[in-house]
Chain A
Amino acid sequence: MPSSFDLNAFQLENAAFEIRYPMALLLWDRSGQLWTECQKKWPELVALHAEPAKTVFRANKNELACELATARIIARFPERPLKEFSEQGPEFLNMVCKHLEVDSLARIGLRLIFFRAHESAEKAAATLLEGNLVRIPVGQYFKATKEPTLPEYAIQFNGNALQTTVRIRAETRRVDFDPPPGPGFDKFVSIHEEQHGIVVDVDHAAIGTMSLKQVLLREWLAQALHVLRRDLVSFLEK
Chain B
Amino acid sequence: MPARVTNLAEFRARKEETSLGDRDLASETQRERTNVGALREEGAQARRAARTETSINDEPLASRVTAVPYLSVVGRAGAELRVADIYPDLSAGSSLAIVFKVVPDVVARLHLARESLVQENLIAADDNVCHARALLTELFCCRDLGDGFGMLINGLMIAFENRRGIPLEATQVQSVVSSLERLLREPALDVNDAADELLALDSSGLQTDPAELDALADLDRGEDEEKVTTTAREG
A residues at B contact (CB < 8 Å): 106-108, 154-163, 165, 167, 204-216, 219-220, 222-224, 226-227
Contacts and interface: CB of A to CB of B under 8 A. Distances in A.
Nearest to A156: B66
A208 B75 CA distance: 4
Nearest to B186: A213
A205 B90 CA distance: 15
Given A223-B92, A226-B92, A159 B145 contact: no
Interface string B86-107: 1111101011100000000000
Closest 9 CB pairs of A and B: A207-B75, A154-B69, A213-B186, A208-B75, A161-B85, A208-B81, A223-B88, A227-B88, A160-B85
Given A162-B88, A223-B87, A208 B146 contact: no
Residue from B71, B74, B92, B94 whose CB has the most chain A CB atoms within 10 Å = B74
A157 B88 CA distance: 13
Contacts of B145: 216, 219
B93 to A, nearest CB: 9
A204 B74 CA distance: 12
Contacts of B190: 213
19 contacts: A108-B86, A156-B68, A157-B65, A158-B66, A158-B73, A158-B74, A162-B85, A163-B74, A206-B85, A207-B74, A209-B77, A209-B79, A211-B80, A216-B96, A219-B95, A220-B87, A223-B87, A223-B90, A226-B88
B139 to A, nearest CB: 14
B89 A216 contact: no
B48 to A, nearest CB: 14
A192 to B, nearest CB: 33
B66 A208 contact: no
Given A155-B65, A223-B94, A214 B86 contact: yes
A216 B85 contact: no
A63 B79 CA distance: 31
B233 interface: no
Contact-residue size bin, chain B (C-beta under 8 Å from the other chain): 35 or more
A208 B74 contact: yes
B182 to A, nearest CB: 9
Contacts of A106: 75
Nearest to A213: B186
B164 interface: no
Secondary structure of the A side of the interface? strand
Interface string B33-63: 0000000000000000000000100100110
A208 B85 contact: yes
A214 B185 CA distance: 7
Contact of A160 (B58, B78, B188, B189): B58
Contacts of A222: 92, 94
Contacts of B189: 213
B127 interface: no
Contact of A206 (B64, B77, B86, B185): B86
B90 to A, nearest CB: 7
B127 to A, nearest CB: 33
Contacts of A167: 69
Given A156-B68, A159-B74, A219-B95, 11 more contacts: A160-B58, A160-B74, A161-B75, A162-B85, A163-B74, A216-B146, A216-B188, A219-B94, A220-B86, A223-B94, A223-B96
Contacts of B95: 219
A229 to B, nearest CB: 11
A163 B70 CA distance: 11
B193 A208 contact: no
Contact of A208 (B65, B80, B87, B187): B80
Nearest to B61: A158
Contacts of B83: 214
Nearest to B75: A207
Contacts of B3: none
B20 interface: no
Contacts of A208: 74-76, 79-81, 85-86
Nearest to A165: B69
Contacts of A160: 55, 58, 62, 74, 81, 85
B67 interface: yes
